[in-house]
Amino acid sequence: MSYEVPVVHTVEDMRAFVHARRAAGERIGLVPTMGALHAGHLSLVEEARRHADRVITTIFVNPTQFGPTEDFSRYPRTLAADCEKLASVSADLVFAPAVEEMYPEGFCTTVMLEGPAKADLEDRFRPTHFAGVATVVAKLLNQAQADIAVFGEKDYQQLLVIRHLARDLDIGTCILAGPTLRDPDGLAMSSRNIYLSAEDRARAPRLYRALSEAARRIGEGEVVGHVMGEAHEAIVGAGFDIDYVEARHADTLARVARRLEGPMRILAAARLGATRLIDNVAVPNT
C-alpha cells in the first residue's frame, strides 16, 4: 500500500501532531512553501529530515506577500500533486490552511522590517512583499514551534529577512538554508518557470551563467564595478529586462565596492517576457 502524507487544515490539528511527537521525544522540522512543488522544495524536506525526526511541510499561497499587480489569482495550486511528491520523500504532515485560518476576521497585525528587508533589491520592486512574508512566517513558526525550519537560498534576501525575524523576536526555531537546486542547464528551479515560453526557457540559463562568471572574476580579484557592468551587459544581451543585478555583502546585503569588504553575494532579478526570474550566487573565497 502506497504511503499518503496526512493533511491537516487547522492550527489546532497541526499543534496536536507536534504535541504528540514531542511527547515521544522527537525533534520537529518545518518547511514552509506556497505549493506547486518541484525537486527544489523536496530537497528542503530532505534537508529538514537530516536535522529532525518529523517534518511538517506547509502549503499556503499567502495573499499578503503579493502586490496588487502580481499573480496571486493564477499562482498554481496543486495540493493533490504536491502531496504525492511529498510522499516520495516521506514527509510526515502537510499543513494546508485556508486564508481564513491564517487571517481570521479582524486580523490587524503586520511585522515591520528594516535591515535586509530594506536593501533596495526585491523591496524596491515589491515594497509590501517582505512584510507579508515576515508576518506569515512568524505565524507559521509560532504555530508549529518547530526545532528547525528550512528555507531555500534561491530567495536569498528572504532568507536573511527570516533569519533576522527569528533572532529579533526571540523565536526558538533554528533557521537553516537549503542550497538552490538547478536544472541540468543551470536554471534555478522555480514554480514560476512553467510560465516561460519555449524560446525564453532556452535563454533563461544565461542569467545564471552571467552571475557565475561575475562571481568567479570578482573572487579572482577583478574590480567589482567593472565586472558587474559587464555582467549587466551580458544579461541584457541575452534578452532580459533587468530589475537589478548587484554584488552585495552576503550577511547584510549592504553595498560593497571591493572584495576585501567581506563575504559577497551577487543577486539578480530579471524578466523574460512576462516571467520574472530571481537568482543569486556566492562569490568564492580565494
Task: Report the binding-site residues for (R)-pantoate.
Answer: 65, 158
Give the chain's residues under pLDDT 70. 1, 286
CA separation for the pair 28, 25 (Å, rounded):
10
Task: Report the binding-site residues for beta-alanine.
Answer: 65
Q: Is 286 exposed, middle or buried (0-12, 13-18, 19+ CB in 10 A)?
A: exposed
What residues act catalytically?
A: 41
Q: Are 57 and 77 in contact (CB under 8 A)?
A: no
Residue 93 pairs in a beta bridge with: 56
pLDDT at res. 192: 87
pLDDT at res. 1: 55
Q: How far apart are the first and last CA of the chain?
A: 52
pLDDT at res. 15: 98
Domains of the chain, by residue range, sit at 7-178, 191-282
Predicted TM-score (pTM) of this structure: 0.95
CATH 1.10.8.50 is right for the domain spanning 7-178:
no
Query: What CATH number does domain 191-282 carry, 1.10.760.10, 3.30.420.40, 3.30.1300.10, 3.60.21.10?
Result: 3.30.1300.10
pLDDT at res. 170: 98
Q: Are 152 and 180 in contact (CB under 8 A)?
A: yes
pLDDT at res. 75: 85
pLDDT at res. 3: 87
